[in-house]
A and B are shown apart, each in its own frame.
Chain A
Amino acid sequence: MADIATQSDQVAGDSSRPGPFRRLFLHNLSAKIAAIPMVATVLIIFVGCTIWTVYYSFTNSRLLPRNDFVGFDQYERLFATSRWNVSITNLLLYGSMSLVLTLTLGFLLAVLMDQKVRFESAFRTIMLYPFALSFIVTGLVWQWIMNPTLGLQGTMRGLGWAGFTFDWISNPRMVLFALLIAGLWQGVGFCMILMLAGLRGVDEEIWKAARVDGIPTWRTYISVVLPMMRGVLVTAVVIIGSGIVRLYDLVVALTNGGPGISSEVPAKYVYDYMFGGGNIGQGLAASTMMLLTVLIIMVPWAYLEFGGKGRRS
């Protein structure tokens, strides 16, 4: 096959035999020129910048990057900073709750939507529209709703329900749930759409076979359909997971890290140290930790994906 391709190139080239230079640079020249932006993005941004960040996270750069290596000093200081420790604890707590709830609610809603409901497209439109909005918009609306005096709490108390409490954004112990309410509001619809696409992809005859076998509907969903949706589930976990690690805009708009530092997250820590605190080394070390977190999520996924492909072929 390769031989044939080379031969035809020779015919097309018409002149001398293609040398290695020709093969590497002139073959498909336009295609290579067209791919320069992609190659540059990959090499300079995704690979180059990442390496740069990891590299300089081992220096004591403050206002400007410096080549002054201090080993793991920045990381030691990072984990000695209570704000960072709060940030990663928050990310862990918020992340696990958000992931589990988004997936469960998304699947549950998708299953309900799959029961031949009327007005399906209306329900779908309603559930997905928050996903079209900016996190800033989402954060600010919920900030207003959770306003302790004039928001939902004030209204309910004004209506005579004196004990009603919904002060989550000003309560350090509940503030993560405030983030969760807003985050779920924006993300569950998207997860539902993914899951619904997965459910609709299941062969109609599987359902018929299960009915003939006398398997109850709920049992079919759990024992047959859910295992068949492995691909969609993994995709959803990876997308939701990488979104959680990036969590920034929503926090800035809803709580700005408060009250105190009780809703800080790593992405905000990085930003504040890089652009606000004049401590680049800290910011870089923190962002390297974020990278590590993503790798911990991504590596098993990549292993599953590529391992899976290997087994299939």
Chain B
Amino acid sequence: MQPSVSIKDLSLNFGSVKVLEHLNLDIAQGEFIVLLGPSGCGKSTLLNCIAGLLDVSDGQIFINGKNVTWEEPKDRGIGMVFQSYALYPQMSVEKNLSFGLRVAGMKRAEIDQRVKRAAEILQIEPLLQRKPANLSGGQRQRVAIGRALVRDVDVFLFDEPLSNLDAKLRSDLRVEIKRLHARLKNTMIYVTHDQIEALTLADRIAIMKNGVIQQLADPHTIYNKPVNLYVAGFIGSPSMNFINGTLDGEIFTAEDGTRIPVGAYEFGGARTGAAKAVLGVRPEHIFIGEAAEGMPFKADAEIEIVEPMGSETLAWTKVAGIPVTFRCSSDIPLAAGDKVVVGFDIARGSLFDAESESRL
């Protein structure tokens, strides 16, 4: 099947600053893609290029097989939702939704029908005559989505749409966007710096850094098999524990001399001889007490700080001379100063080459 959006060899420079470099990305029909990364990584820039709001320096953009590289935004078959909502403040909700269609000269009946459908889908019918100033943040964002909806387009672009909302509303609208996608089955490209949004919404996540896509994969793969140190450290909260050392065969030797057998780890490629490496283990893959028994690596450790989070507890300790966080059930009584045995689930860990920083 033809990809919905296809980006070929895209580059963008502002003067001598390279924002995007030779970027390639194919997005399938109906796919929900999240572009994730810290600010300044180029994710919003990429979205603006797809929308046609920024002129590219090199490369091509195809939407539904049509080369739209030089097309105006309105002719690309896209709808866009912005972080600040960008509603026209002096127009009622109904006018906001219909303004673009009226300017395009569409028939009144058709406009009414589209506005009605969008309002029904987003449950904003009672708000149609209100001005944006009299709407709550969540309602405004729905209207903004509605404005994309009435355009009856194949591709929806979201530019950090939930960043201006408070935590509670954010999680509500997140579910709603997911429901909307399930109902409309449009292609959606969604930019965020919030990894929870990315992990919960995406079919696939593209993690970006310095204008380059670091990894493009489904959330499970991104979380469990990060391709490099950057992705591993970016995804997950609290972040993955990293131990520097040397890898020789199936033995990883930490800098303080602690030997960790990594035979259970599933290597991706051919292994070379002894080399500097980094072992990464997520906090939830470190166990204590009985659960630690079967683990390939165990160590004695003293709890330094305990952070009860309600459903679970985060604990800080030192293993191989390095501060390590782990997560355990809040049922386990833990206190600072407790001596425990911790076990690493090496099979679910990650090993990276210290030089290239990529996954071994």
Contacts and interface: CB of A to CB of B under 8 A. Distances in A.
| A and B in direct contact, judged by CB atoms within 8 A | yes
Interface pairs A-B: 10 shortest CB-CB = A214-B74, A213-B100, A227-B90, A205-B86, A209-B86, A205-B82, A212-B73, A212-B80, A205-B84, A211-B73
Interface residues of A, number: 18
Interface of B: 48, 51-53, 72-75, 78-80, 82-91, 99-100, 103-104, 133, 147, 151, 159
Contacts of A212: 51, 53, 73-74, 78-80, 100
Most chain B CB atoms below 10 A, which of A203, A208, A212, A224: A212
A216 interface: yes
A24 interface: no
Interface of A: 203, 205-206, 208-216, 219, 223-224, 227-228, 312
Contacts of A206: 86, 88
Contacts of B86: 203, 205-206, 208-209
A219 B74 contact: no
Contacts, number: 64
Contacts of B133: 312
Contacts of A215: 99-100, 103
A228 B131 CA distance: 13
Nearest to B76: A212
6 contacts: A209-B86, A209-B87, A213-B151, A214-B74, A224-B91, A227-B90
Nearest to B90: A227
Given A214-B100, A227-B90, A209 B82 contact: yes
Given A205-B86, A228-B89, A228-B90, A211 B53 contact: yes
B333 to A, nearest CB: 42
Given A214-B104, A215-B100, A216-B103, A209 B90 contact: no
A205 B90 contact: no
A211 B100 CA distance: 9
Contact of B84 (A203, A211, A214): A203
Nearest to B82: A205
Nearest to A206: B86
Contacts of B104: 214
A228 B91 CA distance: 10
Contacts of A224: 88, 90-91
Contacts of B90: 224, 227-228
